[in-house]
Amino acid sequence: MLNLVLFGPPGAGKGTQSAKLIEKYNLVHISTGDLFRMHIKEDTELGKRVKQILADGLLVPDSVTIDMLEEEVKKNPQANGFIFDGFPRTVAQAEALDVFLTKNGEKINGVVQLDVTEEEIKNRIAERKKISGRADDDEDKLLKRIDEYFSKTIHVLPYYEKQGKVASVNGIGEIDNIFNGICAAIDAVK
Ligand code: ADP
């Protein structure tokens, strides 16, 4: 199995690159943000619970997020591997993921960090807002999400650095060039 974490701030291009990666490496893409949005759209119990949290740009509690993630992995027993996008976002989530994978005789093979400046992120999300209509792409919500990233999520990196698993890839430039950089990083850990 090939299990990858795609790591980077909001608007780093994780979704775009994941779509290309799952095709090339035949992996299952799990985006916790997409899953939460699906629950909200379908108005499930979980959706009702997290709706306001997402609208505010805050992180959903770890236990809720971890349960949902594990459930999603279990739905794909035949998978070649997974791309985790938007997860883990806290050290507690990273630890829980390791425990879960180890139990199943699996592990995270590599973590690709998409390196993007804060200025670039803000420009991109302003553009995305015009198309996506995502409520959390508004200026103040975006600032909150960036804040959550730099206050909580960034600490996930040293967790994986200690395991020697992080590869940084420049996330600015042509989508295909960035993709090639990511593939080179993945091929080195495969
Ligand atoms: P982006 O990376 O563009 O901010 P995502 O689609 O990854 O957006 O996530 C959207 C929202 O979903 C987050 O702002 C947060 O509220 C929630 N969320 C997604 N993944 C997690 C996670 N791993 N832990 C906690 N909350 C999460």
**58-105: per-residue pLDDT in tens?**
999 999 999 999 999 999 999 999 999 999 999 999 999 999 999 999
pLDDT at position 118, please?
A: 84
Q: Mean pLDDT in the chain?
A: 94
- Angle at 166 (CA atoms; ends 80, 113), nearest 5 degrees: 85
Longest dimension (CA), the chain: 43
Residues 6 or more apart in contact with residue 157 via CB below 8 angstroms: 7, 111, 113, 166
Residue 100 located in a structural domain: yes
Residue 88 located in a structural domain: yes
For residue 20, what are the domain limits?
2-180
What does the pLDDT average to over 101-125? 92
Evaluate: CB of 57 within 6 angstroms of ligand 1: yes
pLDDT at position 26, please?
A: 97
Q: Which of 90, 93, 145, 151 to mutate to test the pocket of ligand 1 (most atoms within 8 A of CB)?
A: 145
Tell me which residue of 1, 13, 42 sits closest to 170, measured CA to CA: 13
pLDDT at position 32, please?
A: 98
Residue 39 located in a structural domain: yes
Residue 99 located in a structural domain: yes
Residue 87 located in a structural domain: yes
Residue 124 annotated as binding site: no
Residue 189 annotated as binding site: no
Which pTM does this prediction carry?
A: 0.92
Beta strands in the chain, from DSSP E residues, in sequence order: 2-7, 28-31, 81-85, 110-115, 166-170
Evaluate: CB of 65 within 6 angstroms of ligand 1: yes
pLDDT at position 131, please?
A: 82
Of all protein residues, the one whose alpha carbon is nearest to atom 14 of ligand 1 is 57
Confidence bin at 139 (pLDDT 50/70/90)? confident
Residue 163 annotated as binding site: no
Of all protein residues, the one whose alpha carbon is nearest to atom 1 of ligand 1 is 10
Residue 85 located in a structural domain: yes
pLDDT at position 74, please?
A: 96
% of the chain at pLDDT higher than 90: 79
pLDDT at position 143, please?
A: 85
pLDDT tens-place string over residues 31-53: 999 999 999 999 999 999 999 99
CATH number at residue 170: 3.40.50.300
Domain count, the chain: 1
Q: Which of 136, 140, 151 to mutate to test the pocket of ligand 1 (most atoms within 8 A of CB)?
A: 136
Q: Of ligand 1's atoms, which has the minimum distance to the CA of residue 37?
A: 12
Residue 147 located in a structural domain: yes
pLDDT at position 11, please?
A: 86
Least confident window among 102-106, 146-150, 164-168 = 146-150
Residue 185 located in a structural domain: no
